[in-house]
C-alpha cells in the first residue's frame, strides 16, 4: 500500500480552514453591505409647518411650499393641505385654511382672539381648532364656519402664547389638550369636564393617545419626550443623554410611526443642524433630516417610509 505523506492531513486541514475563513469573511461582508443598504433605504416624505411651510419628497426635494408661517397642518386625501396659520397682517388672530397645491384657499376661518395653534380634520369634513387668548377655547366647526362644539379650556391667561398646542380629538369623542405653561396634559369632554390629566416635567407641546392607552408627549424646552400610562406614570423617556450628539433642541412636534419608532422635531435647530430624527424604542437613531433653512420645524406629518404611505391614522 502506498504510504501517506505525514503532512498531507495537516495540509488538507489548513486548506479547509482557509476556505472556511474566506467563506465567513464573505458572509460577514455581505451582511454589512445588506445592513448598510437597509439603513440607506430609510426615507420619509413629510409636511413641515413652522416659520416655513413646505412639503418634501423622500429624496429631500421640496415639492410644494406655502408662503405663510404655520403652526400645525395635515395632508388631505385629495392633496390639499389643511393649516393652522400664525398671526400676521392678514390674520391678526391666526387662522385655519385649506389650500390647494397651487395655493388657492378653498376654506378659511379667521381666529377671533390672540392665536390659532391647532388644526385637525375630523369626520364629515368638520375641523377642530384651538384659540389662545383671554378666553382660551377649543372649537369644532363645519365647512361653513359654524361652531358645532365649544369647550372652554382651564388654562392660565397670563401668557396667551403658552396656553395650548396640539389638541386632538380622541376616538371616545373627548379632546386631549397639552397646556404648556400649566405643565399638564388634560382630557376634556365636549361639555368641558376634565376627566384625565398628566403633569409633565416641562411644557407639553404634543400629546398623542396611543392604541394601547398610553400617551406620548413632547416636552419642548425640556428637550425630552415621555410616554405615560393611564395613571400618568412615565413608562418610557427619551432625553439628550440617551443620544449621540444631543440632537434634541426644543422637542415640539412628535409622531409615532406604525413600526413603533418615534420621529421628533428640534424646533430650535437651524441651518445644517438636525431638524428631524427617527429613533427606535431602544433609543437608536435610524434616520435624520437636515437642511439649509434657518428656521426650524414646529410640527410635521410623516407621509411615507421608503415611498410607501403610512398605514392607519397618523399618531401625531
pLDDT digit of tens for each residue in the chain (316 aa)? Answer: 444 454 554 555 455 556 545 444 444 444 443 444 445 589 999 999 999 999 999 999 999 999 999 999 999 999 999 999 999 999 999 999 999 999 999 999 999 999 999 999 999 999 999 999 999 999 999 999 999 999 999 999 999 999 999 999 999 999 999 999 999 999 999 999 999 999 999 999 999 999 999 999 999 999 999 999 999 999 999 999 999 999 999 999 999 999 999 999 999 999 999 999 999 999 999 999 999 999 999 999 999 999 999 999 999 9
Rounded CA separation 67/28 (Å): 50
Rounded CA separation 163/185 (Å): 11
Rounded CA separation 181/22 (Å): 62
CATH superfamily for domain 46-307: TolB, C-terminal domain (2.120.10.30)
- For the question of whether the overall pTM of this predicted structure is more than 0.85, the answer is yes
Longest dimension (CA), the chain: 107
Q: Are 221 and 252 spatial neighbours (Cβ–Cβ below 8 Å)? A: no
Q: Are 307 and 58 spatial neighbours (Cβ–Cβ below 8 Å)? A: yes
Alpha-carbon distance values, 78 to 62, 98, 101 (Å): 19, 12, 10
Strand extents, DSSP E, 204-313: 206-209, 215-218, 224-228, 234-239, 251-256, 262-266, 274-279, 285-290, 297-305, 308-309
Cell of 183: 405643565
Where along the chain do its domains lie? 46-307
**What's 51's DSSP letter?**
S
The three-class DSSP label of residue 159 is coil
Element (H, E) at 14: helix 8-40
**What's 72's DSSP letter?**
E
**What's 212's DSSP letter?**
T
Amino acid at each position: 500500500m502506498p504510504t501517506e505523506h505525514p503532512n498531507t492531513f495537516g495540509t488538507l486541514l489548513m486548506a479547509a480552514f482557509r476556505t472556511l475563513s474566506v467563506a465567513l469573511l464573505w458572509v460577514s461582508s455581505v451582511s454589512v453591505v445588506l445592513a448598510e443598504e437597509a439603513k440607506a433605504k430609510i426615507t420619509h416624505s413629510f409636511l413641515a409647518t413652522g416659520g416655513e411651510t413646505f412639503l418634501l419628497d423622500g429624496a429631500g426635494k421640496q415639492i410644494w411650499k406655502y408662503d405663510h408661517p404655520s403652526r400645525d397642518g395635515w395632508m388631505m386625501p385629495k392633496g390639499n393641505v389643511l393649516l393652522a396659520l400664525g398671526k400676521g397682517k392678514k390674520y391678526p388672530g391666526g387662522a385655519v385654511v385649506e389650500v390647494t397645491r397651487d395655493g388657492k384657499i378653498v376654506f378659511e376661518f379667521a381666529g377671533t382672539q390672540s392665536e390659532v395653534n391647532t388644526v385637525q380634520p375630523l369626520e364629515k369634513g368638520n375641523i377642530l381648532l384651538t384659540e389662545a387668548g383671554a378666553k382660551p377655547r377649543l372649537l369644532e366647526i363645519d365647512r361653513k364656519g359654524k361652531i358645532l362644539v365649544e369647550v372652554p379650556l382651564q388654562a392660565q391667561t397670563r401668557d396667551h402664547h403658552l396656553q395650548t398646542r396640539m389638541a386632538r380629538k380622541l376616538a371616545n369623542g373627548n379632546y386631549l389638550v397639552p397646556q404648556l405653561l400649566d405643565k399638564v396634559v388634560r382630557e376634556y369632554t365636549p361639555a368641558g369636564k376634565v376627566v384625565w390629566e398628566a403633569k409633565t416635567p416641562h411644557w407639553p407641546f404634543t400629546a398623542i393617545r396611543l392604541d394601547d392607552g398610553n400617551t406620548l408627549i413632547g416636552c419642548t424646552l425640556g428637550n425630552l419626550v415621555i410616554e405615560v400610562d393611564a395613571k400618568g406614570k412615565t413608562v418610557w423617556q427619551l432625553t439628550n443623554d440617551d443620544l449621540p450628539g444631543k440632537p434634541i433642541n426644543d422637542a415640539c412636534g412628535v409622531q409615532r410611526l406604525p413600526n413603533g419608532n418615534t420621529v421628533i422635531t428640534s424646533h430650535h435647530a437651524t441651518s445644517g443642524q438636525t431638524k428631524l430624527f427617527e429613533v427606535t424604542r431602544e433609543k437608536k437613531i435610524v434616520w435624520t433630516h437636515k437642511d439649509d433653512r434657518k428656521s426650524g420645524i414646529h410640527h410635521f406629518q410623516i407621509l411615507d417610509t421608503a415611498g410607501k404611505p403610512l398605514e392607519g391614522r397618523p399618531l401625531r
